Structure formats: C-alpha cells, structure tokens
Amino acid sequence: MWTFINDNWVDAEKASIHVSDLAIQRGYAVFDFFRTVEQKPLFIDDHLERLQHSAAVLRLKLPYTVNELKQIVLELVNRNQLSTSGIRITVTGGNAADTYTPTTPNVIITQSPLTMDAAFDAQKGITLITEEYVRELPTAKSINYLMGVYLQQKVKDAGAADVLYVKDSYVSELPRSNIFIVNQQNELITPDKNVLSGITRKHILQLAATFLSVKEQPVTLRDVLTAKEVFVSSTTKRLLPVLNVNGQPIANGNPGAVTKELYTQFLLLEKQITAVT
C-alpha cells in the first residue's frame, strides 16, 4: 500500500516522520478524511477547501495548492487500486527543534480499505450520553481528540454509542459527528456555533432544503430531548438515527421519516457522483 509524504511515495509499512514533529510533541496538526467509492473520491473539493481552512486556523501554510493535492490524491487512488477506501490528509506543525514552534508542515496522505453498510435498517439507531465540553478551535479539524478518546470508557460504561458535547445547555457536536434535530414544527435544525462544518452536514442541508425548512441556529439539550427526530452525520456514518439521549427516548424511540428520506437521498447523491466518468 502506497503512502505519500512530502513529495515522496513510500510503502505504508515504512512511512514515518521525525519525532520532533509537533504532531507528536504537542498534538499540533490538522487533517481531513474522505471516502472513495469505485475509486472516485467523494466531495474531494469540499474536503480540500475545509483542509485549507483548518490549516489557516492553526496558522499552517500548506506546501501544496489545492489542485496539487487533488492530483496527488488521484495518483494515490490509482496506485493502490482500492475501490472503497478512506483517504486521510494530515498537515502537521512540522519538525521543531524546540518542540514548540511551528515550522514547515509535513504533509502525509494515506489510504486504507473501508467497509460501508449501504442498507438502512429502520430498527437501528444509537444511544448517546452528554458531556459538558466544547472543543478547542472547533472550526478546525485538528488531530486533538483528547476528550473524545478519554470519554470512551464512560460511553462504554453507559451502554451508549457516543457522546454529545453540551456547554451551558447548548449542544454542539459529537467527537466525530454533527447532530441534527427535526422539531415539532417539522424544521430541520443543526447547531451553528462551536462546530466543525461537516461535509456530509453540508450536503444534508442542501438536500433537506428541497422539501422542508432548514435552519442553522443554537440548539439546546431540551430541543434535542423534545425533538420528533434526531440524527447524526459524518463521512463514515452518512446519517445515523439517535433513539435515546441520557436514558430518555427520542419521540417514539424509532427512526423518523425525515431521517429515512434524507438517508435515501444521500445514497442517491453518492451514486450520481460515482456515475460521472
């Protein structure tokens, strides 16, 4: 399996960066992650635009243009010949002699096999717990997942699937997902502050706007608990219904009609993209 590091193509098993890199020393780096379907990267332009934004937030100067990164990704896909996969582009703080000051970033692009379940089971859904927390620099997709990883045992002990971050009664996001609610007025709402602008989130909002009212605005925990439907979204989850939060069922405890319809439409969007030659 091939990996790209700073102009070099190397075997993934031999890929490495120096121990002085700020990603290792201080957890200072950004990344983006997207899928390929039939060897075609999904929403690659959106992901590369977000990578640019994340790097700018952390004051990291990308050594490559967006077009250059796109061509590298396409070559990686061609070299590895994986139909369905995950591609990760990491931009680090660079090798720092003082282990603290950012330098020229290291750019690492990896690809790995990925299994996606295309079937939507109306009986499936997840349970969440909440935690009082807001990510640092939340609009950047940094490699800092300290709290999310730390809370894994708490999530497991609660018999839940994931944790929803809440601060002063307002929800923001999950460690690796955005959250949506359908309120009693049949409006689709997603939090607008202290969140990463998910690419799946972006396309869900566009799809949903064709058949119902869509809003990006503050969402309270009470809004979540009293919603008709709740679901999360991410690159690997697509859409996933939330059926219970902190032990309280959402509505009737089953996935809702809007969630199902959006899931169906998102799958169709994927097929349209992969059908383009």
**Residue 217 within any structural domain of the chain:** yes
Q: How much is the pLDDT for 122?
A: 52
- Using alpha carbons, select from 258, 263, 209, 260 the residue that is nearest to residue 237: 263
Q: How much is the pLDDT for 275?
A: 85
Phi, psi of 274 (to 5 degrees): -75, -20
Where does a domain end: 50, 83, 113? 113
**Residue 119 within any structural domain of the chain:** no
Report the domain count for the chain: 2
Give yes or no: residues 76 and 211 share one domain: no
Give yes or no: residues 242 and 134 share one domain: yes
Give yes or no: residues 94 and 6 share one domain: yes
Which residue bears the tokens 């359908």? Answer: 182
Q: How much is the pLDDT for 123?
A: 60
- Using alpha carbons, select from 168, 208, 162, 211 the residue that is nearest to residue 189: 208
Give yes or no: residues 142 and 185 share one domain: yes
Tell how many helices (H) and how many strands (E) occur in the chain: 8, 15
**Residue 120 within any structural domain of the chain:** no
Range of the domain at 221: 126-273
Return d(Cα 96, Cα 105) in angstroms, integer: 10
Torsional sign, CA 146, 235, 199, 277? positive
Give yes or no: residues 64 and 174 share one domain: no
Q: How much is the pLDDT for 277?
A: 52
Where does a domain end: 113, 148, 175? 113
**Residue 263 within any structural domain of the chain:** yes
Give yes or no: residues 98 and 169 share one domain: no
Bridge partners of 32?
89
CATH of the domain at 108: 3.30.470.10
**Residue 121 within any structural domain of the chain:** no
CATH of the domain at 208: 3.20.10.10
Q: How much is the pLDDT for 152?
A: 98
* pTM for this predicted structure: 0.95
**Residue 189 within any structural domain of the chain:** yes
Give yes or no: residues 66 and 130 share one domain: no
**Residue 118 within any structural domain of the chain:** no
Q: pLDDT tens, position by position, for the chain (277 residues)?
A: 999 999 999 999 999 999 999 999 999 999 999 999 999 999 999 999 999 999 999 999 999 999 999 999 999 999 999 999 999 999 999 999 999 999 999 999 999 999 876 556 556 799 999 999 999 999 999 999 999 999 999 999 999 999 999 999 999 999 999 999 999 999 999 999 999 999 999 999 999 999 999 999 999 999 999 999 999 999 999 999 999 999 999 999 999 999 999 999 999 999 998 887 5
Give yes or no: residues 97 and 219 share one domain: no
Q: Which two tokens stand for residue 152?
A: 């894994």
189 contacts 220 by C-beta, under 8 angstroms: no
Q: How much is the pLDDT for 203?
A: 98
Where does a domain end: 113, 142, 159? 113
4 contacts 72 by C-beta, under 8 angstroms: yes
Give yes or no: residues 145 and 234 share one domain: yes
Residue 139 CB-density burial (10 A; 0-12 exposed, 13-18 middle, 19+ buried)? middle
Give yes or no: residues 84 and 183 share one domain: no
